[in-house]
Structure 1
């Protein structure tokens, strides 16, 4: 067979074929954009694979039904699930509006810092903003039990943050992944210009990973961080407040290790003096165990925290998953702001119960709020006090008139006391008969005083709760919500403190002179009774005890409250002097009483009953003898 030789045509054919192959390879080469898109696609696949296993160094994994849930373990060895952690363990996300700045940590998925803007700590000009949460003083933790009975806690786990903006609201989803489609979400929604944010806890597919046969235990805890100048005053008004059973509200007050368990709880508030943290729920918690502990044993030493609060709440599953819609409130304990939410949050502000709270809510808060719009807080307190005294002046007049009548009868009462000194019952009967003839009611002076008591108590609750007084100065006081110290003592006096406040001193002096003017007449207004102590002696002692008590206990109270009592008593003294010197004429009162004695005035049912009781008592006494 003859061998074929490689001719020119064959060489040209091979060259054409090679050239065509080169052209096809070049024509199908990807562009730079296509190469970048493919690279991004590959990186996203790698990132997603990493996110399915959320961990950092020293992590262990719980395998259940092909899912993975990661948690820190103190006793684990160095098991590295992924050489590159998907989530920064120290990472945080900030949600912020004009009122609040909230920092949420990847580890635990909870708020690690809550800053209330536009408010300063301690005193105006301090440069320190109010922080309700800071330096690990608060925590939110949910305890999970794996299907192999291991205890896991969300406070140690890493969440994946995702931030979006929906309709002007900032939405943060903190996701704790247990697999490609199994997770727990903490969802935060912060609205513009609002202290309240939405907070939802939702889950998917947890039945593959953990035991869902019983509710999860959620624990919210906080050590309330001091924000006011007076630690004792702030601690006095720091308490745990809660609402339960369809609108009832109560609180855990002062003291050590206070615990309460309630059903159908709708909100829990860790209240400081002028600021509060509140957890609210749309669907009531079936049960909540709440705990309060006082952390201020020594006001000289314990100056960082005031109270320790804790709430344990069971989170029930529905069809194997969690779905709880809640809210957080971080902001001022301002009655008007809290009341605007229409969720009974105004009960967090201690305005008093029953009629005392009504007086504050419907009279004092609107009236004082109107006055403070047009003048400084100190001048508003003075004008507010004057208005109250003017409204109560008819009652003051009735009280003083009754005392004047008793003063006119004093000589005749003294004669009866001497005449029937050995017959107490007879003396009582004759005294009551004298009152009846003269047309004098010995209780008339007490009734006006009783009518004023709700007003006085309501004001005692109002001033320490009025946040608008906070860091507002007047005269020498730089903060009407705290004490007005003008001198620092080199030592601490029990009950009094280590400083000298002026407004309590002025209020004590005013109370002393007021009681000096009224003590004698008040003592005479009470009819003498057998076996009862001498009222005059008691009242003389009270002249000195009452101002002293005011001086001791109000030295560390809000100076605005002491200012009110000083102005109030000074005005009362002035009104009494005017009534005594220009309105009431003792001679005319005496003449009128004498005329009443000559008239046959029928006895009232009460007087008849009292006389019958005295006669029966006298007869029984004679029978015993």
Structure 2
């Protein structure tokens, strides 16, 4: 009887348990929407397997494909696998939240984007812009840093759309930021940044581990680095003239793209690339030269756009080499000032990225003006250093000034005799020329002697023209009424903008223009008075008279937006030159003595050199041929 009761209770218990299970299954049955999603996922999986078998379809990934997911959400995980293949794993990690990783050093405030693994913000902590705002080299998505590659399952992926897992560690005194794009815990693509104390150069390595069976080496791996250059100077047009993409290639050659227009080039064996924004640079250095680089510079500045945020867009496409199916590219990144003193600390000739000028002009700046100005600015304020350097330059060049003025004085004394020769042989150009040359030879004078000293000064003139706009030390240094010697000074703001001049009035260019007017009045006027008028030739006196007024106007307009340090130099230089010439004229050169010396020279027999004799023979032969032709006629 008891056994029957036990069996009956067991049966009832089983019935109750079965009922509860059925109730729970009914409560948790999939909704029609969930059933539809499951069916769609199955169909996508079947289609993916078919495509993987025939391997003829290629997926091009996009940002929307990589939304944040949870590892427990199997449906989303399967969807990601269909689109990302092995790299779906990276989107299941906690870092896949489109957040940034922040790191600070003595020099930098940095942000690394988990999405893409690249530096998304670089602030230089020791510098401010003209408007007292922080200096950012990278900010607000002005950067594009992407590796494009194919996979063995026929996909094309872009690292800028994939999620990297960040870790921060210490290596001695260095801070290491590792950004890993993972296929699994032991397989990944890594960006490794190593920051050193008080150093603008960071080690940057691109390497992979265990991806030889994931990355398709036959399709190639390309690094694309794009960067918009953030405006940082008061005059954006002036800044844009010195914003340039410069690079070193072929074992040390330095080249650059155009700073004034869109430009592109393809170079081989590139050692470094410098994205320069006037006074600050982003430089990528390769321990092993890049085999080829496609370079593009695009001018973003439109005429009259004084409020522009960006000046240029630089772009470089760099094929990366695979070794054994893996990446290993030891690189370096420099983010810092375009300062000769700082850049020379590194071993890659990075100071060649500073526009000191080509050839002899660059040589003069590097080995004369840069050391000289560095020495003087260490002893006195920067404005006074410019004045003292100008005085020293003019003193060194004073012998050239003396030679030029002496030649002009000789030509002025000989002018009456030249006019007599012109009148005597006005119908015979050949005789006139022969007589003129003979007079110059006997008197020891030459019309070219006044030009040569001026030509000798041109390298110095051009070198300084390049030096001041590139002198980082002048940045934000004040002198008298100028707030910043690396930019224009302002004594008045205009309510309108004058084409080619601007919307302000700078005083240093005005002073420089006045000084150059009086300087040219003395030199050009003297030279014009000494030059005889040649028949059939332009009236030099009239041309020089125009130059006396044209040059100051050009100085006034052109330099209104230039660095006030450069205008200060020309102002002081012309003042000193005027002073030197007044001393030469009134205390050194005696025109009566020069005239007496010329007369003595004319009495002495003058031995012709080989060149003069040859020229004389040629002129005589030409004269004889002309006479024979006239007789035949």
TM tier relative to shorter chain: 0.7 to 0.9
2:357 and 2:291 map into 1 onto residues whose CA distance is 28
Matched, 1:89 2:97: yes
Moved more, 603-612 or 257-266: 603-612
1:375 and 1:357 map into 2 onto residues whose CA distance is 25
Count residues with an aligned counterpart: 558
Relative to structure 1, the CA distance from residue 331 to residue 492 in structure 2 (aligned partners, 3 Å threshold; closer, same or farther) is same
1:532 and 1:358 map into 2 onto residues whose CA distance is 38
1:463 and 1:449 map into 2 onto residues whose CA distance is 21
Q: Give the counterpart of 2:112 among 100, 104, 120.
A: 104
Which residue in 2 is equivalent to 1:297? 302
- Residue 487 of structure 1 and its aligned partner are, at CA, apart by 1.1
CA contact 2:217–2:322 (8 Å) conserved in 1: yes
Equivalences for 1:65-144 in 2 at 5 Å?
68-70=86-88, 85-123=93-131, 126=132, 128-144=133-149
1:530 and 1:477 map into 2 onto residues whose CA distance is 50
CA contact 2:89–2:183 (8 Å) conserved in 1: no
Which residue in 2 is equivalent to 1:56? 68
Which residue in 2 is equivalent to 1:343? 348
Write out per-residue CA displacement over residues 375-429 of structure 1, whole angstroms, 9 at most, x where no aligned residue. Answer: 1111100000000011111111111111111111111112222222222222111
Matched, 1:615 2:620: yes
1:119 and 1:352 map into 2 onto residues whose CA distance is 26
CA contact 1:121–1:228 (8 Å) conserved in 2: yes
Equivalences for 1:360-375 in 2 at 5 Å?
360-375=365-380
Moved more, 598-607 or 364-373: 598-607
Write out per-residue CA displacement over residues 6-35 of structure 1, whole angstroms, 9 at most, x where no aligned residue. Answer: xxxxxxxxxxxxxxxxxxxxxxxxxxxxxx
CA contact 1:214–1:316 (8 Å) conserved in 2: no
> What SS does the aligned partner of 2:227 have?
strand
CA contact 2:149–2:219 (8 Å) conserved in 1: no
1:334 and 1:222 map into 2 onto residues whose CA distance is 21
1:616 and 1:508 map into 2 onto residues whose CA distance is 50
Write out per-residue CA displacement over residues 19-76 of structure 1, whole angstroms, 9 at most, x where no aligned residue. Answer: xxxxxxxxxxxxxxxxxxxxxxxxxxxxxxxxxxx97147753479x9720399xxxx
- Residue 571 of structure 1 and its aligned partner are, at CA, apart by 0.4
1:363 and 1:500 map into 2 onto residues whose CA distance is 33
Which residue in 1 is equivalent to 2:56? none
Write out per-residue CA displacement over residues 238-282 of structure 1, whole angstroms, 9 at most, x where no aligned residue. Answer: 010011111111000224431100011111111011000000000
- Residue 613 of structure 1 and its aligned partner are, at CA, apart by 2.9
Relative to structure 1, the CA distance from residue 620 to residue 114 in structure 2 (aligned partners, 3 Å threshold; closer, same or farther) is farther
> What SS does the aligned partner of 2:237 have?
helix
Q: Give the counterpart of 2:389 among 384, 388, 407.
A: 384
Q: Give the counterpart of 1:547 among 533, 549, 552.
A: 552
Which residue in 1 is equivalent to 2:592? 587
2:156 and 2:627 map into 1 onto residues whose CA distance is 82
Matched, 1:175 2:187: no
1:612 and 1:537 map into 2 onto residues whose CA distance is 35
> What SS does the aligned partner of 1:587 have?
helix
CA contact 1:214–1:317 (8 Å) conserved in 2: no
1:342 and 1:531 map into 2 onto residues whose CA distance is 60
Matched, 1:475 2:480: yes
Could you tell me which runs of 5 or more consecutive residues in structure 1 were left unpaired when the two chains were aligned.
1-53, 73-80
Relative to structure 1, the CA distance from residue 340 to residue 612 in structure 2 (aligned partners, 3 Å threshold; closer, same or farther) is farther
Which residue in 2 is equivalent to 1:308? 313
2:339 and 2:490 map into 1 onto residues whose CA distance is 25
CA contact 2:404–2:449 (8 Å) conserved in 1: yes
> What SS does the aligned partner of 1:554 have?
helix
2:81 and 2:346 map into 1 onto residues whose CA distance is 43
What value does the CA root-mean-square deviation take over the aligned residues?
2.0
Moved more, 177-186 or 552-561: 177-186
Which residue in 2 is equivalent to 1:465? 470
> What SS does the aligned partner of 1:208 have?
coil
Equivalences for 1:231-270 in 2 at 5 Å?
231-270=236-275
CA contact 2:235–2:306 (8 Å) conserved in 1: no
Equivalences for 1:120-519 in 2 at 5 Å?
120-123=128-131, 126=132, 128-300=133-305, 303-519=308-524
- Residue 208 of structure 1 and its aligned partner are, at CA, apart by 2.1
> What SS does the aligned partner of 1:488 have?
strand
Which residue in 2 is equivalent to 1:17? none
2:209 and 2:547 map into 1 onto residues whose CA distance is 69
CA contact 1:206–1:212 (8 Å) conserved in 2: no
> What SS does the aligned partner of 1:555 have?
helix
Write out per-residue CA displacement over residues 551-584 of structure 1, whole angstroms, 9 at most, x where no aligned residue. Answer: 1111101010010001001100010001001111
- Residue 91 of structure 1 and its aligned partner are, at CA, apart by 2.3
Write out per-residue CA displacement over residues 107-133 of structure 1, whole angstroms, 9 at most, x where no aligned residue. Answer: 11001111112111114xx2x110010
1:274 and 1:433 map into 2 onto residues whose CA distance is 56
2:535 and 2:183 map into 1 onto residues whose CA distance is 82
Please give the TM-score of this superposition, normalised by the length of structure 1.
0.86
Which residue in 2 is equivalent to 1:566? 571
Equivalences for 1:32-51 in 2 at 5 Å?
none
- Residue 434 of structure 1 and its aligned partner are, at CA, apart by 0.6
Relative to structure 1, the CA distance from residue 433 to residue 520 in structure 2 (aligned partners, 3 Å threshold; closer, same or farther) is farther
Which residue in 2 is equivalent to 1:75? none
1:211 and 1:306 map into 2 onto residues whose CA distance is 38
1:122 and 1:186 map into 2 onto residues whose CA distance is 34
1:624 and 1:546 map into 2 onto residues whose CA distance is 47
